[in-house]
Amino acid sequence: MMEPGANTPQDLEQKQENSIQTADSDSTLSSNSSSIISRAWRHMLEPVRPSGFVEFELLILTFCIGIQDAISFPDFHCFASNQTGNTVFLMLAIILPHFNGEMFITANIGAALGFFLLGSWVTGQLGHIVGPRLRIWLVGCNFIQSCLVFAAAATQYIHGMDIEGSDAIIPIALLAFASGSQVVQSRTFRMTEISTAMATAAWVDLVIDPALFKLKNRPRTRRAMFLTTLIAGSLAGAGIYRTAGSWVAILVSAAGKMIVTCMYMLNSTEKPKKTTGEDAC
């Protein structure tokens, strides 16, 4: 007779089977988790393919730039992204310094142009090293740009609007650096019709297009959408500036950029080109 509570051979065998099943289950969960992480990492390292969805993302960024420039000139007498005007004003400041404080603020213009170029240089050179179309680079770079614009909004909210001094230079620098980085990033898709910032070349290329009135003309359509979106962003920025203040307009711009950051996760992947034996030679 067996003692009460003693394990029978069948109980021992059942416990062993349960232990094996539990170990197999844990191993499967661990394997699935590793597989998900591995797939997510591969997804982040894939190059993004230029597409209609990319065009939509660039137009959102264009809208955000329009908002920023609409508030930067009345607040700081310079442009955060439009460096044509800043360059001309800077030359005027050299030849006609007595206009400083009346027509423009020399320090603000210098900060805007300098940090725009710095943002362009840093983004462009690092992009050459990392890979300008890699998803991880696009997401990370746009995330940093969004954070810079959020910081500019916070600076405006905390310190208010000062036309001169460090309280003016800091938001200008943040917006200009983010703008320069954004323009460089947009060029990696080789959609030159949507620069996300500069309108002069787009206006000229639009009106001189020999196929301007043709129904199917993708470059013409891109330029028209870019200019329309830039105008809409500028009007929205001016409206928000008048009703709620510049920090709210900057906040809206930052939110738009952060949305694009998330959207980059959904872009299709650029497939590697197939090469024949003759092409390989």
H helix runs in 131-245, sequence order: 135-159, 166-187, 200-208, 218-243
- C-alpha dihedral over 216, 222, 224, 230, to 10 degrees? 160
Distances (CA, A) of 276 to 20, 154, 207, 281: 51, 55, 42, 9
Q: Would you place residue 20 in the very low, low, confident or very high pLDDT band (cuts 50, 70, 90)?
A: low
Lowest mean pLDDT among 21-35, 145-159, 240-254, 255-269: 21-35
Position 16 pLDDT exceeds 60: no
Q: What is residue 191's predicted lDDT score, i.e. its pLDDT?
A: 87
Average pLDDT over residues 170-180: 95
Contact between 108 and 196 (Cβ < 8 Å): no
Contact between 241 and 249 (Cβ < 8 Å): yes
Contact between 193 and 163 (Cβ < 8 Å): no
Distance CA 13, CA 6 (A): 14
pLDDT tens figures, 80-95 = 888 888 899 889 888 9
Contact between 164 and 105 (Cβ < 8 Å): yes
Q: Would you place residue 4 in the very low, low, confident or very high pLDDT band (cuts 50, 70, 90)?
A: low
The overall pTM is greater than 0.85? no
Contact between 54 and 268 (Cβ < 8 Å): no
* Nearest CA-CA partner of 233 in 70, 54, 56, 55: 70
Return all residues near 195 (Cβ < 8 A) that are at least 6 apart: 183, 186, 187, 201, 202, 226
Higher confidence at residue 210 or residue 278?
A: 210
